Amino acid sequence: MRSLFLPLFLIVMVALPVSVRAGELDRAMDATLIVKSADGHERFLGSAFLWRDGTWAVTNAHVIGRAREVVLVSTTGERRRVKVLARDDVRDVAILAVDGAFGPGLQPAAAPAGLGTQVYALGAPLGIEFTLTRGIISAMARQVEAAVPIRLVQHDAAVNPGSSGGPLVDAEGRLLGMNSQIADGSRHYVGVAYAISAADLDRIVPQLIAGTLKEMPSLGLQVRPIDDALAAALGIPARGVLVDSVAEASPADRAGIRAGDVIVSVAGREVARPGDVAFAVEAVLGSDGIAVQLLRAGETILATMPLDRGEHIETAGIDRAALPSARPAFTFSRLGVRLAGNEVTYISENSPAYLAGLSQGDEVLAVNGKPLTEIEGGLAALRITEPMVLLVRHAEGRTEHIYLDPWDKTPRLRPVGGGNVLDPAVVVL
């Protein structure tokens, strides 16, 4: 009997943690929600999860697009039409007002999980509702987009279109992050996924709710890192970032920064790679200007770059039934389009302008029926605040009207490559 008792005891001891973990994961799944459109068609949009006491739900901004209301579905099948309280397109976070309707939410983990920690991704990959996949943390802090001051948690739990906005939790059901992106080059699972960390969410979400989160400004800079080969060819030190171009009338242009300058530091912080600039700027948001140290023709130059103040997302003191009506203005540069005069010299395949039909080599002839001579500052300085119609001449000589709506998240038929987001939505920087 003694020989039979020991193996049975070991089996029970091994099984216990699994049952405990399953209970915690069940509770995490109960805090996970499916997001659908509130336009009467209930199109599947992505995932979301309840935050802390369940007063709010959190998802990605790219999941809800410009919607003012969405439909949320719980694991019990309960459906509720809820308001979008606030969103930040740059940091890719949105807040939904649920007022405790679905029960309690997830608590952020007290400390970051370590490398190799087993994690679980919850959500609706490929629209398959309330799915759980397992993986490990592959890297602790990746700045995936240089213009965004966030370092993401990298993991290899399977995520796919539809997983965006879903929680990443540990075996105890504690929130480690929000699944947001897949590695460049594929829109489906490749073993490399990124989640906004719980620590960043714990910083961003309360500010979005309170209406105090400051928007990241567009500096009008295009920069590149300086490696040894580039430094040797230019005869400059291998430090800082090299300015490729400066948008006309942008904060960088008004500061006197030129193509060919080397940015060494911003706001007193040394710049070693392009992504360092975003963190330096975020640290001084709200100030009137930011100190930039440059190298130009071997000389050190100090410049002050004005920070254009974006309108803060207004949530404090407003009725929850009233939503922020402001939406971001774009330039062609922010839409991933480079111009030489009126000719498109480069266009990102993630750009809404590309998905609308604009191509490299196109010439823009008119905007909303107006010739370019009537546009002050030209196309590069044009602020896009509403959908517009472009008259373009394609490289083969054919002209065409293109309707461009950067805020429209309806899936397009034009092929998309190099996508970073999990859902069929457009990422603009």
Q: Are residues 132 and 69 in the same domain?
A: yes
Q: Are residues 358 and 300 in the same domain?
A: no
Q: Are residues 256 and 298 in the same domain?
A: yes
What was the pLDDT predicted at 42? 93
| Domain contains 130 | yes
CA 96 to chain centre: 17
| Domain contains 411 | no
| Domain contains 427 | no
What was the pLDDT predicted at 56? 96
- CA separation, residue 336 to residues 87, 352, 380 (Å): 21, 8, 12
Q: Are residues 84 and 195 in the same domain?
A: yes
Mean pLDDT by 10 residues, the chain (429 residues): 44 41 87 95 96 95 94 95 93 93 92 92 96 96 89 95 96 96 79 95 94 88 91 88 91 92 94 92 88 92 82 41 51 86 87 87 91 86 88 90 78 42 36
Q: Are residues 146 and 18 in the same domain?
A: yes
| Domain contains 164 | yes
Final residue belonging to a domain, choices 213, 229, 252: 213
Q: Are residues 274 and 137 in the same domain?
A: no
| Domain contains 429 | no
Q: Residue 57: which residues within 8 A CB-CB, separation 6 or more?
A: 33, 48, 49, 50, 51, 72, 82, 95, 96, 98, 102, 105
The token pair at 169 is 């939790």
Final residue belonging to a domain, choices 179, 213, 247: 213
Which of 350, 356, 324, 325 is CA-nearest to residue 336? 350
What was the pLDDT predicted at 321? 46
What was the pLDDT predicted at 21? 61
CATH at 178: 2.40.10.120
Q: Are residues 202 and 94 in the same domain?
A: yes
What was the pLDDT predicted at 351? 81
| Domain contains 324 | no
| Domain contains 322 | no
Contacts 24+ apart (CB under 8 A), 400-403: 400/357, 402/353, 402/356, 402/357, 402/358, 403/356
Q: Are residues 168 and 291 in the same domain?
A: no
Contact 287, 307 (CB under 8 A): yes
Which of 78, 71, 66, 65 is CA-nearest to residue 35? 71
CATH at 367: 2.30.42.10
Q: Are residues 97 and 25 in the same domain?
A: yes
Final residue belonging to a domain, choices 178, 213, 248: 213
Q: Phi and psi at residue 198, in whole multiples of 5°?
A: -60, -35
The token pair at 86 is 């606030």
The CA dihedral of 303, 261, 429, 304, to the nearest 10 degrees, is 0
What was the pLDDT predicted at 309? 61
Give me the domain span that covers residue 262.
221-306
Residues across the chain: 429
What was the pLDDT predicted at 22? 63
Domain count, the chain: 3
| Domain contains 409 | no
Q: Are residues 272 and 205 in the same domain?
A: no
Q: Are residues 257 and 342 in the same domain?
A: no
Q: Are residues 273 and 341 in the same domain?
A: no
